[in-house]
Amino acid sequence: MDSHLLIKAARLFRSHFGRDHAVAAYAPGRVEVLGNHTDYNEGCVLSAAINLGTFFLAAPADGAICRLIAGDIMEEATFDAAAPVPSAASAWANYCKGVLAGLSGHGRSGGGFLGLFLGNLPLGAGLSSSAALEMSAAKALCALYGIALDPITLARIGQTAEHEFAGVKCGLLDQITSLFGREKMLVMSDFRSLAVENVPLGDGVCFLMCNTNAKHALVDGAYNERRRKCEEAARFFASVLKHPVTALRDVSWAEWQEHSGRMDPLAARRAAHPIGENERVLNGRELLRQGNLEAFGQLMFDSHRSSREHFENSCRELDFLVDTARKVPGVLGARLSGGGFGGSAVLLVHPRDAAVIGQAMTTAYRREFGHPCDIRVITPSAGARLVAP
């Protein structure tokens, strides 16, 4: 958590509203480490809350109107606290409007608020700046309105805000990771039971996020196609296996190998990725418990290969980064992070090697594409919380 950023946010709040904020909350972004596209297949994911995030500061308003400031651009959006609705104008405000609407279903009463948010998460890097905004807003507004909610309920409020106010059909991974993060630990989420545990990563490693700055077209359509094929595959396996199958989480890799030849080839290929990923997550948890970082890193490489070959949600830029990382001494593992089709690759490295590896990666990327990739050192960090005003 960047205390200087909080000081800046407080100064901007005071300057704009002519008064101090009453409550403040912070929520981190997240990095997905293993478990790509397993969440909506009711599987498991290993992720981490990171050392970048968003502050949300708030105070009671005199009336029923909410005034919300995006601190990076100092743009203001206003809306009725009693009936927040999504709007194309100042679309960034829709995430907070959705959170406020969600809290109304849990006993929120009272007037409007004055709010300002400010963060240091780069947009479009696959670090989930939207979930960080939602969870920091949820924490701050719960404190402002005197509401006590458990973390999973807060996560669902954030997810609903994405669905109904931002138009993004996301899962719960981003919000859960932002809420349940702990320093030096990964978050293990089971998306069937919504059970969450923390798995120690250890002191001797960190992550490098390599942002391609690539945004490819047709991402929404490609995502929908892959989800449909996963659902089609689950129905096929339910028809041929003797045990119940409600999602691909219920299918083992051995079962895929035995029966995939009888499936639609594209559905079989798409299904191979989340089925294999779920087993990699479970194996990865055990390897971390054993302290076997080298083997864990190999699972990350295996995950990216599956993304490339089976799910086809990588891209030339991401493949180049992972292929380059394999050749750079000191890189333990690498893969795309998040939905794919652009965004960032995540590398598992020792902190002592991070600067040299980062330079090697950005030099190689510049040579190949004519511009550098953005490199950031990422460490697993604590989850969303209130901070002292």
Residues sharing a CB contact under 8 Å with residue 13, sequence separation 6 or more, in sequence order: 20, 21, 57, 59, 69, 114, 116
At CB < 8 A and 24+ separation, what contacts does 295-300 make?
296/332, 296/333, 296/348, 297/331, 297/332, 297/333, 297/334, 297/348, 298/333, 299/34, 299/333, 300/33, 300/34, 300/332, 300/333, 300/334, 300/335, 300/346, 300/348
Coil, helix or strand at residue 297: helix
- Give 35: exposed, middle or buried? Use CB within 10 Å, 0-12, 13-18, 19+: buried
Residue 190 parent element (H or E): strand 185-190
**Helices assigned H by DSSP within 241-334:** 253-259, 265-290, 293-306, 316-327
Q: What angle do CA 300, 306, 308 make, to 5 degrees?
A: 105
The residue written with tokens 């500061």 in the block is 57
R_g of the chain, CA atoms, integer Å: 21
Residues sharing a CB contact under 8 Å with residue 126, sequence separation 6 or more, in sequence order: 31, 32, 211, 337, 338, 339, 343, 344
Count of residues making up the chain: 389
Distance CA 337, CA 325 (A): 14
What is the set of active-site residues?
A: 174
Coil, helix or strand at residue 79: strand
- Which residues pair with residue 60 across a beta bridge? 113
Asked whether the beta carbons of 183 and 381 are under 8 A apart, the reply is yes
- Which residues pair with residue 336 across a beta bridge? 345
